[in-house]
Amino acid sequence: MSRLRRFIVHLQPRGPGSAPHRAFILLPALTVLILAVLWITILMRLRVEKEAVLHDARVAARTVASALDTHTLKTIHDVDTIALVVKYGIENSPDTFDLKKYQAYGLITADTALQVTIAGPDGHVIASTIPFSGSIDLSDRKHFRVHRERADVGLFLSEPLIGRISRQWSIQATRRINRPDGSFGGVVIVSENPAWLTDGFYTSAALGEHGMIAVLSGRGFMLSRRAGDAPSRTGDTLPTGYIDPRHSDETFADPIDHVERIVASREVNRYGLTVMAGLSLAETLDDYYRMRRVYVTMASVISAILVGLSTWIAALIQKLLKGREQLHRLAHTDRLTGLSNRGYIMDLLEEAVAAPDAAGRVAVIFVDLDRFKELNDTFGHHLGDTILAEVGRRLKEVAPDRAQVGRLGGDEFLVVIGDDAASAAVVAGAITAALEVPVSVHGNAYRVCASLGIAVLQPGERAADLVKAADLVMYDAKERGRAHRAPAGKKALVA
């Protein structure tokens, strides 16, 4: 039995569509591979592009922060220069010092200074570059008290406040005035417009439409902050965690306007300040997002084309497979019975006979229907074809795994068995039993008789010899059957 199955498997061709079948399986795999490579390449490229854009933005933010640091230092230096000029003028000539003359001679020059004020040791304003009336007392101001209490403060920068003379937001940059004996003689106050720190620096070309710059005090308040086209803000208390070194050169969600920015900061340690510059993350990535849309659209179009082309090719291959399979069936199958045709069953037999141990194991059963021509002549070929198809089905049914069944032509069939003669005899008995059941056609029962010839392959025999031997045995059986039936005059195939 196992040898028979091995020989049957050996006889089965690989099929006309084996190569196209492999192509049919390989095509979607190749398509998926190409799509995977395409999308991985696109995504990696986009990742590299995004990292490059973010890196450039960080560099730009650091550059702006550095420039703002320089701008802030220069502004404070200009203010301090004015304060020092006035301080030394009073200290050197306390009786003849005239603030108006200093202003008229151009000794007090600053583009951003709102005013210069001198407060006496009791805190009352002695002189100012802005006219004032009445008694103005500054003794309660922190920027006055700090100099009265300590002589070593140097330049002091106040938090933004409303000036009592100018009535505007200002930062008070102050210097202590010393009397000849070193005692406290008052304070020089230079009022600075805090907005100048940011308004005089902000440019859309460098920061974009939603950028941000800020000068912050280490004491927890905001000297000046500007974001986009909005007016500069000053004097606000900073939100908790607004100044955080961890945010430097990183993405930072601004708690004031909730804009996500790439922020760089610099410490101005000399004056206890921090300058910050931020670039809007969305604005920074705007060009990247446009490029990403182009890349994704391009990859999507290519993917759609590739999938469509793959589907079209797969449809062609499937159509080709169906055509080849149909052609294979036509070339190897008897159209009436669905069995192997004469050429194919002989090919199978020749392969079986060619096996090294075929002698004594390969057998054939030659099946010939008795007096079938009379049936065709009497009842017509249509009935004969129906009976042939039913006979073929029964032959295949009795030996589905143990044999190969083919139609040689007309009413002749051949059963190829890869077992010994005893097995062939069992198959022949099964065939005889199967044909004893009448064939029902259109309500009429027809009894089919057949003559069988069995031959076992002998050493040195070929396939044609084996079939010829089985044919001779079949004719002997047919003659014996005729002699036995002659006196009765019965037909072998009757309705």
| Tens digit of each residue's pLDDT (9 = 90 or more) over 474-487 | 999 888 876 655 43
- Which pLDDT does position 321 carry in this prediction? 79
Q: What is the pLDDT of residues 412-439, one digit of tens each?
A: 999 998 766 667 888 999 999 999 899 8
Average pLDDT of the residues of the chain:
84
Tell me the C-alpha distance between 359 and 466, whole Å.
11
Tell me the C-alpha distance between 400 and 420, whole Å.
17
- Which pLDDT does position 237 carry in this prediction? 83
Nearest to 71 by CA among 210, 226, 254: 226
- Total residues belonging to the chain: 495
- Which pLDDT does position 141 carry in this prediction? 94
- Which pLDDT does position 21 carry in this prediction? 61
Mean pLDDT of 62-78: 90
- Which pLDDT does position 294 carry in this prediction? 94
Domains contained in the chain, CATH given? 14-112+193-328 (3.30.450.20), 342-488 (3.30.70.270)
- Which pLDDT does position 286 carry in this prediction? 93
Q: What is the pLDDT of residues 118-128, one digit of tens each?
A: 999 999 999 99
- Least confident interval from 89-93, 102-106, 248-252, 310-314: 248-252
Residue 491 confidence (pLDDT) above 50: no
Q: Which amino acid is at 145?
A: R
Q: Which long-range contacts (CB under 8 A, 24 or more apart) does 117-126 make?
A: 117/165, 117/188, 117/189, 117/190, 117/191, 118/86, 118/90, 118/177, 118/186, 118/187, 118/188, 118/189, 119/144, 119/186, 119/187, 119/189, 120/185, 120/186, 121/148, 121/184, 121/185, 121/186, 125/165, 126/186
Mean pLDDT of 226-238: 85
Nearest to 431 by CA among 396, 456, 406, 407: 396
Residue 470 confidence (pLDDT) above 90: yes
Q: Is 377 a catalytic residue?
A: no
Q: Which of 334, 368, 370, 411 is catalytic?
A: 411
Tell me the C-alpha distance between 490 and 100, whole Å.
153
Global pTM reads 0.61
- Which pLDDT does position 364 carry in this prediction? 93
- Which pLDDT does position 484 carry in this prediction? 57
- Which pLDDT does position 202 carry in this prediction? 83
- Per-residue pLDDT band at 365 (split at 50, 70, 90): very high
- Which pLDDT does position 54 carry in this prediction? 93
Mean pLDDT of 21-49: 87
Q: Which amino acid is at 111?
A: D
pLDDT top residue among 297 and 95:
297
- Per-residue pLDDT band at 116 (split at 50, 70, 90): very high
Q: What is the pLDDT of residues 178-218, one digit of tens each?
A: 999 989 999 999 988 888 888 878 888 788 889 999 998 87
